[in-house]
Structure 1
Amino acid sequence: MNWKHLARGRYLLLILSLTLLLSSCQKKTVNLEFIETSDVHGSLFPWNFMTDTTANHSLASVYSYVKAERAKPDQDVILLDNGDILQGEPDVYFSNFLQPDSTNIVARVYNFMKYDAATVGNHDIEAGHHVYDKVRSEMHMPWLAANAVRTDDGKPYFKPYTIIEKEGVKIAVLGMITPHIPYWLPEKIWKGMEFEDMIETARKWVKIIQEKEHPDVLIGLFHSGVDYTYGGTSAKTYKNENASALVAEQVPGFDIVFAGHDHREWNKWVTNTAGKKVLVMGPQAHAREFPVAKMKLTYDSSDKTWKKEITSEVKHSKNYQPDPEYMAHFKPFVNEVKKWVNQPVAKLTAEIDTRDAFFGSSSFMGLIHKVQLAQSGADISLSAPTIFDTQLKKGELYVRDMFRLYKYENLLYTMKLSGKEIKGYLEYSYAGWFNTMKSPDDHLINFRKDKEGHLMENKGRGTYSLAKPYFNFDSAGGIKYTVDVRKPAGHRVHIISMSDGTPFRENHIYKVAINSYRGNGGGGHLEEGAGIPHDELNARRISTTEKDLRFYMMKWLEKQGTYTPVNPENWKVIPQAWEKKARATDEPMMFGKGNGE
């Protein structure tokens, strides 16, 4: 036996063992990149199906960025969507309702882009059980909503969370949806579900996830906004509509919370009750922006923990070209939708401009009220403009234009309201809509103000923010009335008569045509304005349509063949001279100097 060689072998073995031991104690680094899309609202392709023009924002451009980042060898990408994708553009409407037997385009896009997880949004629920249940079954990834629970057993209707593993790092993603759905949507659309408070749900599921999964990273994917004071609520409001930041602050454990729903860009840090920093991010809408959070994890085996460094940026899809592979794959579907939206509906004998609807009676709102009254057989119609700034030219009206006349898939309700309740409803609407004018030089529109009382400008747009969302600016059809903006909120509306000249009586019960969003309590008009308790709203409903109002509007126009837009001139702002002068100032502040779209 050669003892010298044996000793040398043992020495080399010892060196090797020490090397392995030292290497095991060295730090391992993993780079993760989280990419969020949210509130895409059907902007799947770089084409505006409503205007028949190209668009510089869509998931096709987001996918170009995703592909490039996935190709980098030193990082792993986690792609997440935060809901509200099944509504908003003709392409998803076409897939939802005109191709019910084909794989939904949203599921096809999710699968093609290889999303890791997504959360359900309120507008996804709006499509109805037959749509979102089908889409869920077609997805190759989990659709999350921990706080949407079954009414029969209290278990989540959707998957509450998912686990993603990258390079030995265990990532938990908890999904939640805004709990306000019962205030906006008809019960049949979400039948079998209840929507629980987000903070309570987060506390429950974070504990379960930590005890069962022991994740290295915890992500919140919440279809809910960040400003918890929206609509006059507070941090203590139960089932707050916009509780994303509240969860980040009050429920320890999250590293990043991705928000959505409010269409506002967020990229900020908050501190939770354990003293830890939590990143809160969210985009605006229509795939224009997408938040990106890069996390560098360094593992130290000495204490068996991951040290995390996080950087963040909100990127803009206009800076990336649509991915050619994506475009080629979905080209046949895009062509089908283009063919459908370019079908003629009727002829307009004059232009319709939505801007007119914000300053008095208009031909735009006149059309909506006329269709609501014709479809429902009601005495009075209540509605707001669902499109902010668009013009429909004289001439051929196409299917695509119907989405510019009415944005949402609201059903049409017929409800019982007293004359007094109708007046209270309108007072509430105009309180949020108009300013109290002290002179002709004041603003007519109620613009948003900061703490010092200065009007809040939309940076880079040359416009100013409204104090209340424009889709809450309800006017009435079927009655004649004035709105005196010299008087304080709550004392402005004077109802003169019914449109046919017969008396309007406050103690009379009227049949009222109203969309399902408002009829379920959305905006607060019926509860805070008319004073009807939320649990009484269902009892006030006489009937509901089976399909969305846009469908009936299209059928009504098809029957007309040729339509002449008419301003019913059934209501006006007084003093009229004050309104005229204020409009000259306020209109460019609302819309900018451009014209439309």
Structure 2
Amino acid sequence: MKRWSCIYALLLCFVLALPAQEREVKLKIVQTSDVHGNYYPFNFITQKEWAGSLARVHAFLQKEREVYKDNLILLDNGDILQGQPTAYYYNYIDTVSPHVCAEMMNFMGYDAGNMGNHDVETGRKVFDRWIGECNFPVLGANIIDTSTGETHLKPYKVLERDGVKIAVLGMITPAIPAWLSENLWQGLRFDDMEQTARKWMKIIREKENPDLVIGLFHAGQDALLMSGKYNENASLDVAKKVPGFDMVLMGHDHARECKKVVNVEGDTVLIVDPASNAIVVSNVDVTLKLKDGKVQSKQIEGVLSETKDYGVSEEFMKKFAPQYDAVNQFVSKKIGTFTEDISTRPSFFGPSAFIDFIHTLQLEISGADISFTAPLSFDAEIRKGDIHVSDMFNLYKYENMLYVMNLTGREIKDFLEESYYLWTNRMKSPDDHLLWFKEKRREGAEDRASFQNFSFNFDSAAGIIYMVDVTKPKGEKVTVVSMADGTPFNLDKTYKVAVNSYRGNGGGELLTKGAGIPKDALKDRIVFSTDKDLRFYLMNYIEKKGVLDPQALNQWKFIPEGWTIPAAKRDYEYLFGKDNK
């Protein structure tokens, strides 16, 4: 017995004398976000080759996996199910075949996904079907099933690579109810991001004890309160205020970002946002040094990588060629003829054939007295000649329904006051800008970052004659002269007003902050809703008419014209260049 004790003692001394085991683990984290249906390197709307696409991302992944192999972690941050006809076709037209988005993501080897607001906008039937077909979890820590109080989706995913434990916590902007009709997300609620992050960070730390924590948040970095209660774009706030994240991968705001911030405990957090359309990806290198299996140090560096530099994956294109052909056939169908070119460009400076065509349709199919709508695309054009299904995605970007709401004349005026306040600069001299621009544009967000506010909230009206005095302050800009037929406009009268479902649910706050209608009261103002999206009715309208001659209605104008006409010319050139008229 004494002999064995001596042997054990000698063995113990030998083990203790061994040097501590040290090793290095290198990980690659790749994030896509706001792909918006851009799966192929071809834009089915403009019928042109496309800079982004999952096909290009796959080529990038093939190259990186040669080095990192299984240590490459691929994440998507939402808004992948809406934007291109490819997504629309498999959302609503071919609902029998496997969803092409799920098939592509499975093929590419995604490790986790996240929900975006435009994924929710497709409706529960669509997004639940897509989630069910994905071979990886789609996360949503703050998407709660109201009947059980539990999360509708997995809150987080734990991955293990080369002995390193990685936790990915997914969240969505909670402002969904401010934009989308409840029938699209029936039975769900969307909790505050910061509160949710605190709750799950505690659980993740205690239960999982991870070596690396990634926040995958479909929300931007410029926090603002929507409808007085939904904290939109809280990603940066969470990164700074909730300790524990090594990196926060953002989305939603379509603006490129790659920087480091310091949280409340003095730790550094990497913040990355690849903007939209898979033109760039978030490309993060993580180097961990371990000693006896425990992480001693972490080095985290991120860049934004251009996918165009890697070409197009032939393997991807061959694999999904049948689906490409099906979508191409769908969008190529002729539905009518336009006698004139129409563009969203003039719509920022006055009445335009593009916007007034939508106004005309909204009034005609709803029977409303007045119509509100905005340019949903920053720079869209439909050329005269044959019109195809593809053009409908240029004409109307989103799958919004059409509502008719009861609004008083005063609420209509106040709604427009809010819209033009968001839209126009208050001119103090003839040399000032007509439009309200940001001082600095953010790279990767040219479609929305030129303006101080989002242009999809620049609603004009049809059915009334009015003027907008850009020298006046908010509340005094809009003067309604009459109804379009010349009859008086009465501030105390109730009118039937056509709006899209985004606006009717409080999107842009024109009805809440502008018209002063409480968010909870909006539902009671809706007297009619279509059961299909506006694009469907636009297609039917054009098919029925055959040949159309879209013209501006010219029912409103900016004044004083001595200032606004020259300013409009200058601002047009500022936005689109001198040679792009």
Compute the displacement of 1:322 (Å).
0.8
Within the candidate set 239, 245, 249, 2:240 is matched to: 249
Give the 5 Å matches for 1:74-113: 76-113=71-108
Compute the displacement of 1:55 (Å).
1.1
SS in 1 for 2:158: strand
Compute the displacement of 1:462 (Å).
9.7
Within the candidate set 49, 58, 69, 1:54 is matched to: 49
Within the candidate set 37, 53, 56, 2:32 is matched to: 37
Instruction: Tell me what 1:22 maps to.
Output: 18
AA at the equivalent of 2:269: V
User: Partners in 1 of 2:205 and 2:564 — Cα distance?
Assistant: 59
Compute the displacement of 1:590 (Å).
1.6
AA at the equivalent of 2:564: E
Q: Which runs of 4+ in 1 moved over 4 A?
A: 14-21, 457-464
Give the 5 Å matches for 1:186-205: 186-205=181-200
Instruction: Tell me what 1:296 maps to.
Output: 287
SS in 1 for 2:18: helix
Compute the displacement of 1:576 (Å).
2.0
- The verdict on how the C-alpha distance between 1:92 and 1:74 changes in structure 2, with shifts beyond 3 A counting, is closer
Structure 1 stretch 432-441 or stretch 189-198: which is displaced more? 432-441
Compute the displacement of 1:52 (Å).
1.2
SS in 2 for 1:424: helix
SS in 1 for 2:122: coil
Within the candidate set 56, 59, 62, 1:67 is matched to: 62
User: Partners in 1 of 2:166 and 2:343 — Cα distance?
Assistant: 50
Instruction: Tell me what 2:550 maps to.
Output: 565
Compute the displacement of 1:212 (Å).
1.1
Compute the displacement of 1:546 (Å).
1.0
Give the 5 Å matches for 1:541-580: 541-580=526-565
Compute the displacement of 1:484 (Å).
1.2
Kept after mapping to 1: 8 A contact 2:70/2:161 = no
Kept after mapping to 2: 8 A contact 1:198/1:239 = no
Give the 5 Å matches for 1:432-511: 432-448=422-438, 455-457=439-441, 465-511=450-496
SS in 2 for 1:240: strand
For each residue in 1:301-320, what CA deviation from the matched residue of structure 2 results, as whole angstroms up to 9, or x when unmatched?
A: 29x33410111101111211
Compute the displacement of 1:441 (Å).
1.9
User: Partners in 2 of 1:500 and 1:315 — Cα distance?
Assistant: 55
Instruction: Tell me what 2:400 maps to.
Output: 410
Instruction: Tell me what 2:516 maps to.
Output: 531
- The verdict on how the C-alpha distance between 1:549 and 1:27 changes in structure 2, with shifts beyond 3 A counting, is same
SS in 2 for 1:84: coil
Instruction: Tell me what 1:282 maps to.
Output: 273
User: Partners in 2 of 1:281 and 1:95 — Cα distance?
Assistant: 30
SS in 2 for 1:314: strand
Structure 1 stretch 571-580 or stretch 129-138: which is displaced more? 571-580
**Residue 148 in structure 1 maps to residue 143 in structure 2:** yes
**Residue 358 in structure 1 maps to residue 348 in structure 2:** yes
Instruction: Tell me what 2:4 maps to.
Output: none
Compute the displacement of 1:579 (Å).
1.9
Kept after mapping to 2: 8 A contact 1:197/1:238 = no
Within the candidate set 254, 275, 278, 1:263 is matched to: 254
Kept after mapping to 2: 8 A contact 1:31/1:75 = no
- The verdict on how the C-alpha distance between 1:594 and 1:400 changes in structure 2, with shifts beyond 3 A counting, is farther
- The verdict on how the C-alpha distance between 1:193 and 1:21 changes in structure 2, with shifts beyond 3 A counting, is farther
User: Partners in 1 of 2:236 and 2:221 — Cα distance?
Assistant: 5
Instruction: Tell me what 1:337 maps to.
Output: 327
User: Partners in 2 of 1:249 and 1:290 — Cα distance?
Assistant: 23
**Residue 130 in structure 1 maps to residue 120 in structure 2:** no
**Residue 163 in structure 1 maps to residue 158 in structure 2:** yes
- The verdict on how the C-alpha distance between 1:189 and 1:347 changes in structure 2, with shifts beyond 3 A counting, is same
For each residue in 1:482-531, what CA deviation from the matched residue of structure 2 results, as whole angstroms up to 9, or x when unmatched?
A: 11112222211111111111111110111111011111111110011100
**Residue 383 in structure 1 maps to residue 383 in structure 2:** no
Kept after mapping to 2: 8 A contact 1:30/1:75 = no
- The verdict on how the C-alpha distance between 1:73 and 1:401 changes in structure 2, with shifts beyond 3 A counting, is closer
User: Partners in 2 of 1:474 and 1:355 — Cα distance?
Assistant: 14
User: Partners in 2 of 1:148 and 1:76 — Cα distance?
Assistant: 29
Kept after mapping to 1: 8 A contact 2:255/2:444 = no
User: Partners in 2 of 1:519 and 1:508 — Cα distance?
Assistant: 19
Compute the displacement of 1:119 (Å).
0.5
User: Partners in 2 of 1:145 and 1:593 — Cα distance?
Assistant: 46
User: Partners in 2 of 1:108 and 1:142 — Cα distance?
Assistant: 14
Kept after mapping to 2: 8 A contact 1:461/1:592 = no
For each residue in 1:287-340, what CA deviation from the matched residue of structure 2 results, as whole angstroms up to 9, or x when unmatched?
A: 1111111100111229x3341011110111121101110010011111111111
Compute the displacement of 1:18 (Å).
4.6
AA at the equivalent of 2:430: P
SS in 1 for 2:28: strand
User: Partners in 2 of 1:223 and 1:47 — Cα distance?
Assistant: 25
Instruction: Tell me what 1:120 maps to.
Output: 115
Compute the displacement of 1:591 (Å).
2.2
User: Partners in 2 of 1:204 and 1:238 — Cα distance?
Assistant: 20
User: Partners in 2 of 1:462 and 1:182 — Cα distance?
Assistant: 27
**Residue 369 in structure 1 maps to residue 363 in structure 2:** no
Q: What are structure 2's unaligned runs of at least 5 residues?
A: 1-6
Compute the displacement of 1:20 (Å).
9.9
Compute the displacement of 1:74 (Å).
7.6
User: Partners in 2 of 1:394 and 1:28 — Cα distance?
Assistant: 65
Compute the displacement of 1:548 (Å).
0.8
For each residue in 1:171-199, what CA deviation from the matched residue of structure 2 results, as whole angstroms up to 9, or x when unmatched?
A: 11100000000000000000100110001
TM-score by length of 2: 0.95
For each residue in 1:192-223, what CA deviation from the matched residue of structure 2 results, as whole angstroms up to 9, or x when unmatched?
A: 00110001001111111111111111111000
AA at the equivalent of 1:473: F
Q: CA RMSD in A?
A: 2.1
Compute the displacement of 1:460 (Å).
9.8
Kept after mapping to 2: 8 A contact 1:223/1:261 = yes
User: Partners in 2 of 1:553 and 1:564 — Cα distance?
Assistant: 14
SS in 1 for 2:231: coil
- The verdict on how the C-alpha distance between 1:16 and 1:56 changes in structure 2, with shifts beyond 3 A counting, is farther
Instruction: Tell me what 1:7 maps to.
Output: none
SS in 1 for 2:528: strand
Q: Aligned pairs, how many?
A: 573
For each residue in 1:419-453, what CA deviation from the matched residue of structure 2 results, as whole angstroms up to 9, or x when unmatched?
A: 000000000000111111223222111112xxxxx
Give the 5 Å matches for 1:164-179: 164-179=159-174
Structure 1 stretch 99-108 or stretch 237-246: which is displaced more? 237-246
- The verdict on how the C-alpha distance between 1:63 and 1:557 changes in structure 2, with shifts beyond 3 A counting, is same
SS in 2 for 1:274: coil
- The verdict on how the C-alpha distance between 1:156 and 1:267 changes in structure 2, with shifts beyond 3 A counting, is same
Kept after mapping to 1: 8 A contact 2:404/2:496 = yes
User: Partners in 2 of 1:246 and 1:306 — Cα distance?
Assistant: 27
Structure 1 stretch 47-56 or stretch 90-99: which is displaced more? 47-56
SS in 1 for 2:67: coil
